[in-house]
């Protein structure tokens, strides 16, 4: 009996054997991954550089943590202040801006708070607060969450004091959108996650366009001086590719439902 | 309801077309979980037999500990394994984080208490039955354990399958230690979590159905491989 | 090799949770023929046998085998009042004690077949032991005990719940073993059996040995009043 079971295990085991190209690990944010851009870029990177980039899809907070611990070779996130602190503390070698996309305000199509008529991002948020309409916050210390908090403050409001209408779910973008869809609430989302989201229900895009909503992505290689094992060379190779004209064409040309998502702005 | 039906239909097509991505992550799910189960059994079964046969001072404490560990949340296990395997952790040099091996380690940790506990219960009953005879025959401690393990093998299979069920359906720990990396550490459960996050409930459900199907298939396969359902029923 | 016997008990007793099951007992067995242990239910027959065999703990007094405790364990066997069947086939049950002593698989199987034949289980070698009937279990337990060639065999009511024919079969096997030099120590409620097999009698009452005599003398005229009453079938 044991022998047969072991044989079965051996067969299954042999079924998956790894490939032998260069491999590096990069932590990226959920919102970047949900955009689908990675699915376009990774095969090209593999073709051009013979480099397999393994993505760890996590919140910005955890991405930075992974970089600090040396568990990844590079990170691609969007939380400028935190990124600068990360480089400052010596965890990353430098911060390289690659591209940006934007955040949008999503809410019930009926728009009870009148967010659609707002003149600015701050105005949109003030309307939600004024109407005490249900608002779903990521509440997970992610880049999107940090952005949301800074937008509330820019609108002269303090999220810590909000009542029960402000719901911090402590979850990823998809889960937050699912929650908003379920309760007909408002939510701040990056455009890519929204476009790719499959469970829109009664939700609609109500406000976008304020430059305050722009969302800058930056690439940071983890510092080999701190973690000797990181694949600094591969990280450098990848950086070179990410700022190349080839990457520019792919990033600017990436569309969902006829809409462009990202704007390449690497220097 | 619409999602449920879409999920079923999609599951059906994924399976009949032998979708490459599906086959890959299913095979990985099986590989990780069966490895974890094999290792966990090698640890848990002798431990259970030892606890059944040997009277020692802290026996009750060990059994209570095992039972308590059964209820350990996988996320906590995941976090502990993560911290241990992280490059900045004590076993960082091994570079095991975000590999299938790390997932196996987490799953082993999760199911050893479960398998040992269930196995111990049936071995203890059998030991009760055999006690006088084996003592009378003056067999060694090791022989007692081997005899119990062999004669209780059907019950032990059930214990192992319970472990398998828990491991294959587990998501919290392997998400943390595996990282859900496409083509490297993505398995059925983490893929389901990912698709749910994207709001693609139909695909998530489809994967869920595949997972259930796989679990049933493995149960049947192991039962028939060991011929428990045909030979010697009494 | 030193002789197994004599077995000497001095003020030996076994207790469980402070309650004495049997003892204090002073007995010296020379290991010749068959010693039958009789007495009413609860007298301590099973407990005494288990104490001698070493499966009940000695909690007072002393117990000595001629060759020393550890070695004696290897040279004796026990047939329980309720035989324990390993969840294996008849053949594997028989081979088990041999395999446990390091006998090679082939040899163990061959011996198992011989013994199965001898106790009339030859036709059911492959059957799972737990499905056997009560009588078949008794026979299997007996063969499994004798297969290692013990110098002393303890039997706890080996024929309880057996029909006449099965009892005869078992007694034949026991006589054969006795003739082959195996000492028997047997508890029984079957006075006919005690007469047929017994060479000497230990009469137990309330955990103590009340009378010890040669079998013939005992059955013709026991010394103590209790034994007389017991043989008459009175309630004592
Ligand atoms: N494990 C035990 N714990 C407590 N009491 C026990 C235990 N085993 C036996 N006894 C008690 O010890 C006494 C002697 O029991 P024992 O089994 O030796 O009697 P016996 O002479 O074999 O009786 P029977 O003819 O019914 O088989 C009984 O009163 C019984 O209840
Ligand atoms: Mg008895």
Is residue A247 located within the same domain as residue A260?
yes
User: Nearest C-alpha to atom 27 of ligand 1 is from which residue?
Assistant: C41
Of the candidates A250, A222, A196, the one whose C-alpha atom is nearest the C-alpha of residue A93 is A222
- B126/chain C closest Cα distance in angstroms: 10
B195-207: average pLDDT: 83
CB A69 within 8 A of CB B87: yes
Q: Are residues A205 and A109 in the same domain?
A: yes
Question: Given the CA of residue C44, which atom of ligand 1 is nearest to it?
Answer: 18
Which ranges in B18-140 belong to alpha helices (H)?
Answer: 20-53, 59-70, 74-85, 100-136
Q: Is B205 inside any structural domain?
A: no
Q: Which residues in chain C touch residue B147, judged by CB atoms under 8 angstroms apart?
A: 86, 96
Distance between CA atoms of residues A206 and C235, nearest Å: 99
Residues of B in contact with C100 (CB under 8 A): 137, 139-140, 143
CA of C44 to the centre of ligand 1 (A): 6
Query: Which residue of A8, A181, A196 is in closest CB contact with B221?
Result: A8
Q: Is the same domain home to A122 and A65? A: no
| Among the listed residues C52, C25, C60, the one whose alpha carbon sits nearest the alpha carbon of residue C209 | C25
Nearest-CA residue for ligand 1 atom 29 is C42
Domain ranges of chain C: 7-82+151-163+174-232
* pLDDT for res A113: 93
Structure tokens of B63? 């059994």
Structurally, chain A folds into a number of domains equal to 2
How big, in percent rounded to 5, are the helix, strand and coil portions of chain C?
40, 25, 35
| Helix pair C90-100, C134-146: axis angle to 10 deg | 20
Where among A170, A189, A213 does a domain terminate? Answer: A213
* pLDDT > 90 fraction of chain A, expressed in percent and rounded: 64
What ipTM was reported for this prediction? 0.89
Cα distances (angstroms) measured from residue A101 to each of A116, A144, A209, A236, B137: 20, 12, 11, 24, 78
Among chain B residues, the shortest Cα distance to C74 is held by B138
A154 and A82 fall within a common domain: no
Structural domain boundaries enclosing A172: 103-213
- Report CA-CA distances (Å) from A213 to A151, A219, A228, B169: 8, 20, 38, 39
How do the pLDDT tens digits run along chain C, 236 residues long?
Answer: 788 878 989 999 999 888 899 879 999 998 888 999 999 999 999 999 999 998 888 998 899 998 888 888 889 999 998 899 999 999 999 999 999 999 999 999 999 999 999 888 999 999 999 999 888 999 999 999 999 999 999 999 988 878 888 888 889 999 999 999 899 999 999 988 999 999 999 999 989 999 998 988 888 888 888 888 888 876 65
Same domain, A32 and A46: yes
Nearest to C90 by CA among C110, C113, C107: C113
Tell me the pLDDT tens digit for each residue of B202-214.
Answer: 888 889 989 999 9
Residue B230 pLDDT > 50: no
Q: Which two tokens stand for residue B122?
A: 């049936």
pLDDT digits (tens, 9 = 90+) for A61-118: 889 999 999 999 999 998 888 999 999 999 999 999 999 999 999 999 999 999 999 9
Please choose, from the candidates C111, C107, C80, C84, the residue with its C-alpha nearest in 3D space to the C-alpha of residue B148.
C84
Residues measured by CB to lie within 5 Å of ligand 2, the ion: C 46
Chain B neighbors of A68, CB-CB under 8 A: 88
CB B180 within 8 A of CB B192: no
Interface residues of B toward A, Cβ cutoff 8 Å, are: 24, 27-28, 30-31, 34-35, 38, 86-89, 92, 95, 97-98, 153, 179-184, 194, 196-202, 221-222, 225-227
**Distance of residue B148 Cα from the nearest chain C Cα, in angstroms:** 10
Phi then psi for residue A94, to 5 deg, are: -165, 170
Q: Shortest CB distance from C100 goes to which of B137, B151, B234? A: B137
Angle between the N-to-C axes of helices A173-183 and B188-197, in degrees from 0 to 180, rounded to the nearest 10: 50
- As a whole number of angstroms, the distance between CA A29 and CA A37 comes to 12
pLDDT of A19 strictly over 70: no
Q: How confident is the model at residue A4 (pLDDT cuts 50, 70, 90)?
A: low
Q: Does residue A193 sit in the same domain as residue A180?
A: yes
Q: Report the alpha-carbon distance of residue C95 to residue C92 in Å, rounded.
A: 5
How far does chain A reach from its first CA to its final CA, in angstroms?
64
Q: Rounded to the nearest 5°, which phi and psi values hold at A224?
A: -70, -15
Task: State whether residue B132 sits within 8 Å of chain C by CB.
Answer: yes
Does some domain include residue B5?
no
For helices C105-118 and C90-100, the axis angle rounded to 10 degrees is: 130
pLDDT at position C98: 94
Could you tell me if A94 and A107 lie in one domain? no
Q: How confident is the model at residue A18 (pLDDT cuts 50, 70, 90)?
A: very low
Q: From atom 4 of ligand 1, which residue's Cα is the shortest distance away?
A: C16
Which domain, by its residues, includes B149? 33-184
> Are A3 and A50 within 8 A, CB to CB?
no
Q: How remote is the CA of residue B135 from the centroid of ligand 2, in Å?
A: 18
Whether the CB of C43 sits within 6 Å of ligand 1: yes
Whether residue A196 is found in the same domain as residue A233: no
SS3 sequence of chain A: CHHHHHHHHHHHHHCCCCCCCEEEEEEEEHHHHHCCHHHHHHHHHHHHHCEEEEEEEECHHHHHHHHHHCCCCEEEECCHHHHHHHHHCCCECCCEEEEEEEEEEEEECCCCCCHHHCCCHHHHHHHHHHHCCCEEECCCCCHHHHHHHHHHHHCCCCHHHCCCCEEECCCCHHHHHHHHHHHCCEEEEEHHHHHHCCCCCCEEEEECCCHHHEEEEEEEEECCCCCCCCCHHHHHHHHHHHCCHHHHHHHHHCEECCEECCEECCC
- B180, B197, B225 ranked by CB distance to A8: nearest: B225
In a domain, B66, yes or no: yes
Within 156-195 of C, beta carbons closer than 8 Å to B belong to none
Q: Is the pLDDT score of A2 beyond 60?
A: no
Same domain, yes or no, for A22 and A107? no
Chain CA centroid to CA C132, Å: 21
Give the CATH number, domain containing residue A219: 3.40.190.10
When CB atoms are compared, the residue of B35, B86, B226 closest to A71 is B86
Closest CA to A71 of A79, A63, A83: A63
Any B CB within 8 A of A173 CB? yes
Task: Please list the alpha-helical segments (H only) found in C147-220.
Answer: 164-179, 191-197, 215-220
Could you tell me if A251 and A191 lie in one domain?
Answer: no
Reported as a pLDDT band with limits 50, 70 and 90, residue A17 is very low
Question: Measuring from atom 16 of ligand 1, which residue has the nearest CA?
Answer: C44
- Residue B218 with chain A: CB contacts under 8 Å: none
* CA distance to partner chain B, nearest, from residue A265 (Å): 27
pLDDT score, position A10? 60
Mutate to test the pocket of ligand 1, among C21, C45, C59, C187 (most ligand atoms within 8 A of CB): C21
- C131 with B234: Cβ contact below 8 A: yes
For ligand 1, say whether the CB of C137 is within 6 Å of any of its atoms: no
Nearest neighbour of B198 by CB, restricted to A15, A16, A174:
A174
Burial B68-102 (b: 16+ CB within 10 A, else e): ebbeeebeebbbbbbbbbbbebebbeeebbbbbbb
From B133, B138, B151, residue closest to C73, measured CB to CB? B138
Q: Which of A200, A191, A208 is nearest to A255 (CA)?
A: A191
Q: What is the largest CA-CA distance in chain B?
A: 66
The CATH number for B37's domain is 1.10.3720.10
Which residues of chain C make contact with B234, given a CB cutoff of 8 A? 128, 130-131
Distance (Å, rounded) from C-alpha A83 to C-alpha A94? 9
Neighbours of A104 (CB within 10 A): 21
Both A208 and A233 in a single domain? no
Alpha-carbon gap, residue A80 to A94, rounded angstroms: 12
**What is this structure's pTM?**
0.83
In this structure, the answer to whether residues A209 and A108 fall within a common structural domain is yes
Q: How far is C77 from chain B (nearest CA, A)?
A: 7
Closest ligand (CA of C39): 1
- Closest listed residue to residue C34, CA positions, set C141, C211, C179, C169: C179
Domain at C7-82+151-163+174-232, CATH class = alpha beta
Domain boundary among A213, A231, A246: A213
Q: Does A13 touch chain B (CB under 8 A)?
A: yes
Interface test with A, best of B81, B104, B191, B199 (most A CBs within 10 A): B199
Find, in chain A, the residue whose alpha carbon is nearest to that of B204: A198
3-class secondary structure, C84: coil
Number of domain units in chain B: 1
Report how far residue A234's alpha carbon sits from residue A238's, in angstroms, rounded to the nearest whole number: 6
b/e per residue, C133-149, with b = 16+ CB within 10 A? Answer: eebbbbbbbbbbbbbbe
What pLDDT shows up at residue B51?
95
């Amino acid at each position: 009996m044991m022998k047969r079971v072991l044989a079965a295990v051996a067969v299954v085991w042999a079924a998956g054997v790894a490939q032998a190209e260069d491999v590096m690990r990069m932590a990226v944010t959920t919102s970047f991954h949900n955009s689908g851009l990675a699915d376009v870029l990774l095969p090209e990177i593999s073709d051009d550089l013979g480099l397999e980039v393994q993505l760890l899809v996590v919140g910005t907070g955890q991405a930075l943590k992974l970089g600090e611990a040396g568990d990844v070779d590079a990170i691609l996130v969007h939380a400028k202040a935190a990124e600068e602190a990360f480089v400052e503390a010596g965890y990353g070698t430098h911060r390289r801006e690659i591209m940006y996309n934007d955040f949008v305000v999503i809410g019930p199509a009926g728009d009870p708070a009148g967010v659609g008529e707002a003149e600015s991002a701050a105005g949109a948020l003030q309307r939600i607060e004024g109407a005490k309409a249900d608002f779903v916050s990521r509440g997970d210390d992610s880049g999107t969450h940090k952005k949301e908090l800074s937008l509330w403050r820019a609108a002269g409001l303090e999220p810590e004091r909000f009542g029960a209408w402000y719901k911090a779910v402590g979850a990823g973008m998809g889960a937050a959108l699912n929650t908003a869809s379920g309760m007909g609430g408002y939510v701040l989302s990056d455009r890519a996650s929204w476009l790719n989201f499959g469970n829109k229900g009664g939700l609609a895009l109500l406000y976008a366009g304020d430059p305050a909503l722009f969302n800058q992505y930056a690439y940071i290689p983890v510092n080999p001086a701190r973690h000797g094992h990181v694949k600094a060379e591969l990280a450098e190779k990848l950086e070179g590719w990410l700022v190349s004209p080839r990457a520019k064409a792919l990033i600017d040309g990436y569309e969902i439902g006829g809409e462009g998502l990202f704007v390449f702005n690497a220097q | 309801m619409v999602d449920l039906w879409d999920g079923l239909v999609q599951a059906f097509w994924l399976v009949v077309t032998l979708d490459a991505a599906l086959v890959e992550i299913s095979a990985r799910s099986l590989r990780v979980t069966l490895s974890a189960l094999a290792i966990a059994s090698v640890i848990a079964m002798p431990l259970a037999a030892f606890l059944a046969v040997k009277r020692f001072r802290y026996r009750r404490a060990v059994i209570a500990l095992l039972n308590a560990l059964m209820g350990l949340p996988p996320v906590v296990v995941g976090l502990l394994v993560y911290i241990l395997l992280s490059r900045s952790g004590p076993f960082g040099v091994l570079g095991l984080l975000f590999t299938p091996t790390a997932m196996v380690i987490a799953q082993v940790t999760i199911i050893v208490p479960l398998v040992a506990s269930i196995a111990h219960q049936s071995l203890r009953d059998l030991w009760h039955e055999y006690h006088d005879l084996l003592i009378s025959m003056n067999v060694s401690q090791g022989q007692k354990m081997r005899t119990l393990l062999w004669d209780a093998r059907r019950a032990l299979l059930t214990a192992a399958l319970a472990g398998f069920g828990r491991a294959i359906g587990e998501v919290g720990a392997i998400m943390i230690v595996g990282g859900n990396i496409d083509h490297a550490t993505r398995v059925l459960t983490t893929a389901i979590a990912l698709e749910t996050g994207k709001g693609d409930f139909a695909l998530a459900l489809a994967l869920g159905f595949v997972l259930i199907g796989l679990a049933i298939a493995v149960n049947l396969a192991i039962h028939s491989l060991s011929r428990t359902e045909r030979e010697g029923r009494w | 090799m030193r002789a197994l016997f004599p077995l000497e008990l001095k003020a030996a007793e076994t207790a469980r949770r402070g309650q004495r099951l049997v003892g204090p007992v002073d007995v010296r067995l020379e290991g010749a023929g068959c010693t039958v242990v009789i007495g009413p239910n609860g007298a301590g027959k099973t407990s005494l046998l288990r104490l001698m065999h070493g499966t009940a703990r000695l909690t007072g007094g002393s117990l000595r085998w001629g060759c020393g405790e550890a070695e004696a364990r290897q040279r004796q066997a026990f047939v329980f009042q309720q035989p324990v069947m390993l969840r294996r086939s008849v053949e594997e049950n028989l081979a088990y004690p041999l395999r446990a002593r390091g006998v090679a698989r082939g040899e163990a199987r061959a011996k198992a077949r011989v013994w199965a034949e001898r106790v009339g289980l030859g036709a059911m070698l492959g059957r799972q032991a737990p499905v056997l009937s009560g009588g078949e279990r008794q026979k299997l337990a007996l063969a499994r005990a004798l297969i290692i060639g013990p110098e002393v065999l303890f039997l706890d009511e080996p024929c309880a719940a057996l029909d006449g024919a099965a009892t005869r079969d078992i007694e034949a096997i026991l006589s054969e073993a006795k003739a082959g030099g195996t000492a028997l120590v047997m508890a029984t409620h079957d006075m006919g059996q005690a007469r047929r097999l017994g060479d000497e009698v230990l009469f137990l009452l309330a955990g103590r040995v009340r009378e010890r005599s040669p079998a013939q003398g005992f059955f013709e005229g026991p010394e103590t009043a209790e034994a007389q009453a017991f043989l008459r079938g009175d309630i004592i």
